[in-house]
Amino acid sequence: MHSSTWLTLLIVVPLVGALGAALVQKTPGRAYVVALVTSVVEMVLAIVVAVLYNHHVPHAQTFDFATRHVLSVPFGLAYDVALDGISLLMVVLTALTVLLALLGARDRRQEPAFVAWLLLLTSFTMGSFLAHDLLLFFIFFELTLVPCYFLISQWGATQRAKAALKFFIYTFTGSAFLLIGILYLGFAHQHQLPTTALTFSYGALSGTAMAHGTQVWLFIAFAIAFAVKAPIWPLHTWSPISYAEAPTAGSIELSALLAKLGSYGLLRFAVGLFPLALPTMRPLLLTLAAIGILYGSMLACKTPDLKRFVAYSSLAQMGFITLGVMSGSQIATVGAVLLMFNHGVITIGFFLIIGFIEQRRGSILIKDFTGLQGPAPILAALFTVVMLASIGLPGLNGFVSEYLILIGTFATHAWWAVVATFGVVAAAVYLLWAYQRVFHGKAEGPNAELADATPKEQWVLVPIVLLIIVLGVFPKPVLDRITPSVQQLIEHVEPGGLNK
């Protein structure tokens, strides 16, 4: 067991960096330097934790770096953090996302406030993934709304006010159901053990005895909040406008991180805490996932701008993740966790390249582009790698994830897997068609003079391309860290022995 100081640093360092950026706001560019240094330190910390994490611990003790300090006995509030193979991947993704967002999507308008909000969002997201206490998780989960709201409303496009308001109302309303469910679960546990203090510890509450009907209602309460955040169809309608109107860094954070908070919460808390509800709720969630895959694919084909295109593509990908999470299969669940990370990497690449193009053309409308591969062959090549990874081309990271999800789900719920397979074909259609419309043909007018990727832009995208290739060819080290934690969770919620 390693010291929990590492996890505390992951949460605190971005907070300190945000404060530092705010304090040097009178010096031009200094806040950006502070934020960049902070994000580098955060990335180093995440790598150290990933190296130290012991995935060879005994099967029943897959959580590492654990600590619990009670802050308020009457309110059941505690600082309780821990890390396992599932949250480890999300921690690395969080650190990588803020670093690449700062490097590739710098916004000089009110820069001290901009980078401070980004760092605060990083801290709250880290806290959400590391929280081993439901109430602490809810606090961090809710706090992520504040930086996102201001990033969209102050630095977004022409409809930023509408997008920010819709984002906040949707996610805040969904979270109300989560809070009710957490409080009910905590008091139900205390009622069963009157001599114990009120607690919201994940470990304690996972053993709470509840009737089937109670678990179903609590599962619904939790799932609504996480389905909105992910998003899962039909609770996705806030995401296209929010992704489109947010600044590039905001779009990256929303798609790469905030969406994963939803799928992570669904797996960790809804599935992990309410196993009796799964036979009742699984068909519904699998159906919603399959609909989301096909619906997102259809809308991606007809959307008018590139950011909404990625939003609908993400809706389809979140459908695949939900399929794996709800499959009851260890193989598919491992694939879902891996896809959380891989999809995050892919969407970072998409939004960075779209941001580079928008800086040059002042537009993200697909109709404004044609033939960009002529004047900008490097941008076209980088977009091609990201696009093929999203399609699921063998040898790239998207293939490994989707393959595991589909073969695992096929063994437990074949018909839903068959429907989802058509989503793979649909992804090839809408991604290749978008590529043809933007990059093929003859470049005319402003498109003919579009500058290619600068050396700095190329180097920002290098880590993404490397991860896409390395995780596509050699995912074993990552899978070795995910699998024990997923196996423990599946054995807890599926005692009947679904596919392993």
Return the structure tokens found at 94: 């969080």
Residue 273 lies in a domain: no
> Is 268 within 8 Å of 178 (Cβ atoms)?
no
What was the pLDDT predicted at 61? 57
- How is residue 314 written in tokens? 């993400």
Question: Residue written as tokens 């699921």?
Answer: 392
Domain of 340? 280-500
DSSP type of residue 53: -
Domain count, the chain: 1
450: in domain: yes
Residue in this structure with the two tokens 């993704």, named with its chain if needed: 93
Residue 296 counted as domain residue: yes
- Res 1: pLDDT: 60
pLDDT at 60: 47
The ranges of the chain with pLDDT < 50 are 59-60, 497
Angle between helices 278-302 and 306-326 (to 10 degrees): 160
Question: In which residue are the tokens 């040097």 written?
Answer: 24
**Residue 82: helix, strand or coil by DSSP?**
strand
Give the containing element (helix H, strand E) for 60: none
Q: What is the pLDDT of residues 368-386, one digit of tens each?
A: 888 888 899 999 999 999 9
Question: What is the model's pLDDT at position 445?
Answer: 83
- Please count the CA atoms within 13 angstroms of the CA of 449 that sit on its side-chain side: 4
**Residue 157 domain flag:** no
The pTM (predicted TM-score) of the whole model is 0.93
Q: How far apart are CA 361 and CA 130, in angstroms?
A: 40
Does any domain span residue 461? yes
The answer to whether residue 43 is domain-embedded is no
Non-local CB neighbours of 185 within 8 Å, separated by 6+ positions:
134, 200, 205, 208, 218, 273
Which contiguous run of DSSP H or E holds residue 67?
Answer: strand 64-72
Identify whether 194 is part of a domain. no
Q: Is residue 464 part of a domain?
A: yes
